[in-house]
Structures are given as C-alpha cells and as structure tokens.
Chains A and B, each alone.
Chain A
C-alpha cells in the first residue's frame, strides 16, 4: 500500500457521503484504508463486528437494484446494525407521496443512516437538506455512484499496489454513467491518468474539463491502458438511438479475446455490472484471468462497511450540529 506517508485527518468529519467530487485525496485514502482493515479482519476470521450495534440503517431504493442493495444490507449486518429496506419501483410520486415525505417517515422510525438509490440526479443532496440522519448515496441518476467507484479504486489498488501513475480507460456510455463520473473524481484525485472511450454520442465533450482524455477508438485506448473499466450501455436511460445497433457497438467498443491479446499483458479488466455479455464484454474476457469483476463484488462489501462505519463515527464524535456544515450544499 502506498498510503503509509499520507497524513490522515484526526477524524472523519463528514456526516454524509454524497459523491466523490467533494472528497479530498486524504479522505478517499481513509476510506480505502478502513476497507482494507475490514478485509484483513475478515480474513482473520472476524466476519462480524459490533461497531454499529444498536443503530439502524435504512436502505431506500427508489430504483431497482439487487447487487448494491444486497451489498449495503450485508455490510450493515456485518457491523451489527439493524436494517430496514424500502423499495419503490420508479418514482415515489407515482404512489402519491413525495420522496421527501417517504424518507422523513422512515427516518421517524429511528434511523441513523440512510442509503439512497434514486433515478434522479441530486436526490441524495435534496434528502440531506431535509433529514437529520446521515445520507449515503448508492447511485443517483446519472450523477454519482461513490461506493462503486470506491470499490473500483480499492480493487485497482489491491492488484497494482497504487493508483498514482496508472492509466485507466473508462469504456462505454460515459454520458449516462454515474459510475464514470465518480470514477473520474476518484482516479484523478489519487493521481491516475484517465481516458474515456466510447461513441461520440455517449461522451459529453466538456468532460475534458475534468482533465480526462477522449478516445473514440477502443484499440487506441487499449494500447495505453493499465486498467479497463467496461461500463454497461445504459439502454434504460437513453432517450433514443445513440448508436445504430448493438452489433455495431459490440464491433467498435466490445472487449473480446482478440482485443485482449493486443492489450498490455497485465491489464486489469473491471466492470461495474450487471454486464451485458456479448455487448461490452465477451464471456472469455469476463471470465478470463485478467478479469477482476468478482473481486470487485467482494470488495464492495468492505467498502460499504467502511463508509457506514466512518459516517457512524462522525455522528458519534461530532458535537451536536458540528459535522453538518461541511458537506451540506
């Protein structure tokens, strides 16, 4: 690990985790180190800890999700928290009750942390202005998905020792990807070079203002990349045809065995999942030796434990009202 020299803050002070945009490199590293500690404890047989005993974590999923919800739920249980799950398909307004009222109702049951997944960008920010508990963004529209990016960072660091100096290519539907936005913030802050690669219709040109490079040719990006993060084509978020056909997309931007042979020998293949086999990635690559896709899932658990743990600590250690100002927009 390359973090030994990094000065740590005295304590974690944020009440909410809304995105990686607002986190400092030190804070990012703090989360990764905490996750590494949980992973070490688990390997040593300490699967269950009592850090959050007596507190309740609510999972508010206003958008369908299986893996993220399960991962958060399990992470909370590993820390001995009680959990409540709320799932609503589509908009909360379709049921007549507003999103805020739903959240306030759940909070009134005695919740100390709220994990929120929502199809609207900014929903966790809106929530954080209305509730007293901690808000943890589990993916908001096409904005951010901080814990997914953190587990990507963790997996890269675990495999390559450090993030700094690496070239990471994010491939696919950048326009509609919250994973891409969070990854760009996290990777750039920790010193990586970032390339985004995909069809011109799915890459906002202003993205270069974040210090990333754009490629529209996967084979070019492939030659330079230490890591490839193959993002899913978000068919459900698109409002029309952004490219002519799936087969054309797979032809131009799909990762297959042939392309893998032209990549660097030690290239890491990541994918946030769920993967569309045969579109972004062929099975031989997804299941091959370069793929760390299942390691990502495993690491997601300790990352979410670390986030829940640090936010809980901030609540315990902060004098009333203290930890609120920093991250409330």
Chain B
C-alpha cells in the first residue's frame, strides 16, 4: 500500500463542485477518504498557496510517432505533457502510417506505457488513410482503445462521408473531432484574410472557410444525432452558430486554443512562421467572442492543439512553413494570463475546461475529477510564480513557439499520475520557498 498526502492546498474540483483549502489523500493510485486523526503518508507534499486540481486533460495533441519522429515521439510528447500539468492526452491519428486500424491504436497505447509518463488515449482515424473517402474500421479501433475519432488537421470535405461517419460513431457513443475548414477556401492561405493579410501581401484564409464548415457540421449533427466536436474554433460567427445549435439541443461541442486567445493576426507583421497556425490567428473581435463563449460555457474545453515541428521545418519562408505551435508546456500560464488574471474566468471555471470538458468528450469516466475512488491524477499549480518561457528547456523535441522569452505567471509544480509523482518542477524555487 502506498499513500500520498497533499497538504494545505486550495482544492479545486469542478466535477464535485469543490473549492476549499484542505488536504487530499491518495492510496494505491486512487483518491481516498482522508483518514481520521493524525494522518501519515509515505510522502507528503506541502501545497499551501497552491491550487490542487484534477490532472489536466488535453483532448487532442499531435505526437507525430510513428513517421515524424524528428518532430516528436510519444515519449518526448508525454514528457512535455507532464511538464505542462497534463495527466491524460488524446493523441491525433495523423501519423505515418495513420492510426486507422486496431494495431496502430494499440501501438500508441503500448508506446505510451513504455514511456511511463502520462496516459495517452488514441483517437482513431475517421477515414482510411485520412483520405476522407471511406470510413476506417471504427468498431475495431474502439476495441483497440480509440476514445474518439478524428482525421486530424484534414477536414472531411465530402459531406456524405461526414454524414455516414456521424451516423456510424453514434452507434458507439463516440465523438468525431473535426477540423472545420472548407479546403478550397483555405488552400494556400497563410493567415486570416483581412487588414493585415492585405498589408503584408500574404494569401488570406477567409473566416468563411471555417464558418461554412461549422454550419455544415452542425446541420449534419442535427440530422444524424451524432456528436461532432469542432477543434480549435477561432471565428466569431462560428461561435454564434455553435451557441444557437447548443440551445436547440444539437450534439455539438468545441474547443479553443490558448494561442487563439493570446495572439491576433497582427503578430504576422513580423513574418515569423511561429505565428503561422491552422486555423489562423484572428483579429481582436474574434478573440473576444472566444472569451465570451468560454464565459457562458458555450465552449467547455480548451486544448493546446500541440503541433510540434522540427526547427528546420519552421525556420523558413512563411508560405513554406507548416502551421502549428508546440503548445503543451505553455497552455497553463497562457490561460492563467488571458483568462484568470484578466478577470474573465474564475479558477473553477478554467479548470473545468481542462478537466471535466475533455474527460466528458473522450468518455473518461474516472478521470477529470478528485472524487473519492477515481484515478489519482492530480496537478498542483503554483498560480502566481513568475517565470520566463524558454523553448530550449522544453521537454518536447520541438521548439516552435512564438512565446519564447515571454514572462508569464503560474506553472504546474507537481504532476501526479495514478498516485505517482511523475513530474516536479525544479526550475522555480517558488514552490519550495513558500
């Protein structure tokens, strides 16, 4: 029997509506009732001044293995997740070969077990070879561990294929995580189409490329009763559509990313490819709409949309560079800055977006909560510690972040997976000095 006591922290668990200073007791990898009387444990962590919350969950990240091991491996990506405070991540299937059959899903799970960092739940491909034409073996993928389905950054352009996919996955109660974008409107685009794309002479992607697909997906979800989850939505009009659809009872959910909250298309003025992301960064009014949607719970998830790329792929001409930010290790401080310190969300509201929301989307019953008996995945956050993001110190193999050198507040100090302390932040003395 092993025990862990986390003493004196502010325990925030939106799943059980808890927000109080107290102690958390873990026995044999599960959250346990606090023993009465004098409590002793194999290990005690002093969490005074810190937030103790369920381990963070990211519904979709790219881990690149197999096929693109120069960008990331399952081992390095899960180490990055731990450093960012994540205990479970959903892994996108857009590898080479893609995760479109049972064996490849089991490979992901096996590699994650070997790495021994955080939990990884594979997302299966919706279509064979991610080609958007024929459904993948969805039932067998579920048997291999797939928690949900996605074709990653490839939009399923064929509406009939998407309709069938929603009908079929409904049978299993699984969601389809879709990248809502009309390919022909986005083709060759580098950034949001608007004032700055005009100024910079960069090919724009109109917001309509996202909005049209959001409307289509909502219509198909409404028609089929299937669950469509829209990944990394970024446009104001998309938000309006999602809000109205949810009011009608359509099974549609969505997430936003920290970089779409922290940055605008103005950043592209530097022509720095680290600002090239998919969907593109939008102007301020879109960003405000995303924040409003988080506040009124139209959007229940925040995901890092971790897209690591080796430096030689990113440091090049903007139109040749791939899109994406290496996001696992910066989500927490960026959200603390843009959402909590700026007064938009409370701590329980924010934590809900990275615990309850993704756990529900991926159907992870015993995670995303500190309820007694659930798996003891816990993150301990120092909410105030000031630190400077240093891409060179990332656990991820890639360094593609526009936030390198930015001074931020708040950081995961301990990441506990199944009762086991898998990560301890040693860079800041803040935690121990308290």
Residues in chain A within 8 A of chain B (CB atoms): 21, 91, 93, 98-100, 118, 120-123, 125-126, 140-144, 178, 181, 204, 206-207, 209-210, 239, 329
Contact of B320 among A120, A178, A210, A329 (CB under 8 A): A120
Q: Which residues of A contact B271 (CB under 8 A)?
A: 121-122, 125-126, 329
Q: Which residues of B contact A140 (CB under 8 A)?
A: 201
Check A123–B195 contact: CB distance below 8 A.
no
Contact of A141 among B195, B201, B269, B312 (CB under 8 A): B201
Check A93–B320 contact: CB distance below 8 A.
yes
Q: How many Å lie between the Cα of A210 and that of B320 in the bound state?
A: 28
Contact of B201 among A100, A126, A178, A206 (CB under 8 A): A178
Q: Which residues of B contact A207 (CB under 8 A)?
A: 198
Check A125–B201 contact: CB distance below 8 A.
no
Chain B positions 182 through 225: 1 when the CB is less than 8 Å from some CB of chain A, otherwise 0: 00000110000111011111111000000000000000000000
Q: Which residues of B contact A141 (CB under 8 A)?
A: 201-202, 319
Rounded to whole Å, the gap between the CB of B359 and the closest CB of chain A is: 41
Check A120–B317 contact: CB distance below 8 A.
yes
Across chains A and B, which 5 residue pairs bring their CB atoms closest together, nearest first? A122-B271, A143-B201, A120-B317, A142-B201, A204-B198
Rounded to whole Å, the gap between the CB of A143 and the closest CB of chain B is: 3
B318 at the A interface (CB under 8 A): yes
Rounded to whole Å, the gap between the CB of B207 and the closest CB of chain A is: 13
Tally of chain B residues near chain A (CB < 8 A): 23
In the complex, number of A-B residue pairs with CB atoms less than 8 Å apart: 65
Known contacts A100-B315, A143-B200, A239-B188: A125-B320 contact under CB 8 Å: no
Q: Which residues of A contact B203 (CB under 8 A)?
A: 142
Check A93–B194 contact: CB distance below 8 A.
no
B316 at the A interface (CB under 8 A): yes
Residue of A nearest to B268 (CB): A122
Inter-chain pairs besides A120-B318, A239-B188, 17 sampled, C-beta below 8 Å? A91-B320, A93-B316, A98-B312, A99-B316, A100-B315, A120-B320, A122-B200, A122-B271, A125-B271, A142-B203, A143-B200, A144-B201, A181-B201, A206-B195, A206-B198, A207-B198, A329-B270
Q: Which residues of A contact B202 (CB under 8 A)?
A: 121-122, 141-143
Rounded to whole Å, the gap between the CB of A36 and the closest CB of chain B is: 29
Q: How many Å lie between the Cα of A99 and that of B202 in the bound state?
A: 18
Contact of A206 among B188, B194, B269, B317 (CB under 8 A): B194
The A interface is mostly helix, strand or loop, or mixed, namely mixed
Check B317–A123 contact: CB distance below 8 A.
yes
Q: Which residues of A contact B320 (CB under 8 A)?
A: 91, 93, 120
Q: How many Å lie between the Cα of A144 and that of B202 in the bound state?
A: 11
Check A239–B200 contact: CB distance below 8 A.
no
Rounded to whole Å, the gap between the CB of B166 and the closest CB of chain A is: 31
Q: Which residues of A contact B318 (CB under 8 A)?
A: 120-122, 126
Q: How many Å lie between the Cα of A204 and that of B200 in the bound state?
A: 12
Rounded to whole Å, the gap between the CB of A123 and the closest CB of chain B is: 5
Rounded to whole Å, the gap between the CB of A138 and the closest CB of chain B is: 14
Check B316–A98 contact: CB distance below 8 A.
yes
Q: How many Å lie between the Cα of A206 and that of B265 in the bound state?
A: 14
Q: Which residues of A contact B193 (CB under 8 A)?
A: 204
Rounded to whole Å, the gap between the CB of B409 and the closest CB of chain A is: 27
Q: How many Å lie between the Cα of A201 and that of B193 in the bound state?
A: 14
Q: Which residues of B contact A93 (CB under 8 A)?
A: 316, 320
Rounded to whole Å, the gap between the CB of B45 and the closest CB of chain A is: 44
Q: Which residues of A contact B269 (CB under 8 A)?
A: 329
Rounded to whole Å, the gap between the CB of B66 and the closest CB of chain A is: 24
Q: Which residues of B contact A210 (CB under 8 A)?
A: 199
Residue of A nearest to B196 (CB): A206
Q: How many Å lie between the Cα of A47 and that of B54 in the bound state?
A: 77
Q: How many Å lie between the Cα of A210 and that of B198 in the bound state?
A: 10
Q: Which residues of B contact A206 (CB under 8 A)?
A: 194-195, 198
Q: How many Å lie between the Cα of A118 and that of B201 in the bound state?
A: 13
Q: Which residues of B contact A123 (CB under 8 A)?
A: 317
Contact of A239 among B187, B199, B201, B270 (CB under 8 A): B187
Q: Which residues of A contact B199 (CB under 8 A)?
A: 21, 181, 210
Check A121–B194 contact: CB distance below 8 A.
no
Check B188–A100 contact: CB distance below 8 A.
no
Residue of A nearest to B195 (CB): A206
Q: How many Å lie between the Cα of A156 and that of B200 in the bound state?
A: 25
26 pairs, CB–CB < 8 Å, chain A vs chain B: A99-B316, A100-B316, A120-B317, A120-B318, A120-B319, A120-B320, A121-B202, A122-B202, A126-B271, A126-B316, A126-B317, A126-B318, A141-B319, A142-B201, A142-B202, A142-B203, A143-B200, A143-B202, A178-B201, A181-B201, A206-B194, A206-B198, A209-B198, A210-B199, A239-B188, A329-B271
Rounded to whole Å, the gap between the CB of B180 and the closest CB of chain A is: 21
B195, B203, B270, B271: residue with the most chain A Cβ atoms closer than 10 Å: B271
Q: Which residues of B contact A329 (CB under 8 A)?
A: 269-271
Q: How many Å lie between the Cα of A187 and that of B199 in the bound state?
A: 15
Q: Which residues of B contact A100 (CB under 8 A)?
A: 315-316
Q: How many Å lie between the Cα of A142 and that of B199 in the bound state?
A: 10
